[in-house]
Amino acid sequence: MFHLKFSEELEMLKQTVRDFTNENIKPIAAKIDEEERIPPELIKKIAEMGLLGTAFPEEYGGGGFGEVGYCIAQEEVARGCMSTATFIGAHQSIGTNAIYLGGSEELKKKYIPKLASGEMICAFALTEANAGSDSFNLRTTAKRDGDYWILNGEKMWITNAGIADVVSLFARTERGITAFAVETKTPGFSTGKPEKKMGIKGSVTNSITLENVRVPNENMIGQEGRGFIIAMKTLDAGRLGLGACCLGVCKEMLELSTRYAKERKQFDKPISHNQAVQFMLSEMAIIIYQMESIVYRTAKDYDEGKPISTQSAIVKYVCSEGLDKVVDLAVQIHGAMGYSKEHCIERYYRDSRINRIFEGTNEIQKSIIAHDIIKKNGVL
């Protein structure tokens, strides 16, 4: 219908990831949902494909495709399985990216090549019981002890925590919030049982408990007291990737719904002949065009080093709200079949809801946008 043209290299990436998703992810997506786990063999294949380091420079073992390339890859993976896309996003776009954006050169070389290759898995640990939307209110502490920091506290709702080898984790020191790369094998580090969720069931979500966890000073990400800035910059990229995932699912929903509408007959004709159904398909296409336009415009700005905090908040808000609308229309077009577990539509419907909550609720995104509008006197 409409195709956003990328460079030859990025078009090849898009087709390669689409083929990989069709062959390796889509056939087992329902099983991933039912068993609430991504098979280790699939994670290995994803790593071998380079999908755990798509955005990072080649000097760190990444694919060198930047944020645009990462969004392209996530769009295609999400078409097959939102749980798998969530795993990749938590690992790459926020977990590893915190080290890339804030870490010293030594820290980057220590971890990013292993994370990009899949030798290690990463998570991003900011959220706590009293520090969800109010992330500045975190209570986890880090106290200096010679060449080490002693960490104590608890984190909640951490994607990949149960399978991670290293976690980009935020704690409060005397100088403020500070980020650390914490290896999960460190004594005193433990995770709770996997959370039972409504959607994205295949992605592992756990709490983290830190009891006198000793972290070497060289594993501090950036400077002491600058962790909150690193967290917010990391989430800028995370929200972009989230938007790309929402876009991919929306495209999948439109294709499946159009195909079904042309095949399903009522009153001796395909339901695609009914104006009510046509209008629903039109709404889906309109939303997709809006989403695609802002995702890749913002990703391009990000790769050019432009500030995108407000833009990424807009992307996150528009794409997650748009996805909820599109999957609802897909269920409506499919009727009872869309409500049945026999069809993938109901899984996408469940998976979609979290996107308005994690990486900052949509209400928080509107606050970010409003603050910038007022600051700039309404000039965007």
Catalytic residues: 359
- Nearest 10 degrees: CA dihedral of 76, 80, 86, 92? -40
Where helices occur in 202-344 by DSSP H, the ranges are 227-263, 275-303, 309-334, 336-339
Query: Which residue in 198, 190, 205, 194 sits closest to 157, CA to CA?
Result: 205
Q: Residue 168 is inside which H or E element, if any?
A: strand 166-173
Cβ distance 199 to 354 under 8 Å? yes
Give the residues across from 167 on adjacent strands. 123, 182
Cβ distance 178 to 172 under 8 Å? yes
DSSP string, 97-150: HHHHHHS-HHHHHHHHHHHHHTSS-EEEE--BTTBSS-GGG---EEEEETTEEE
Give the residues across from 170 on adjacent strands. 179
Give whole-number Cα distances, 228 to 145, 221, 235, 319, in Å: 22, 11, 11, 25
Instruction: Show Cβ contacts of residue 380 under 8 Å, excluding neighbours closer than 6 positions.
Output: 310, 373
The region that residue 122 occupies, defined by phi over 0 for left and psi between -120 and 50 for alpha, beta otherwise, is beta
Phi and psi for 149 in degrees, rounded to 5? -120, 135
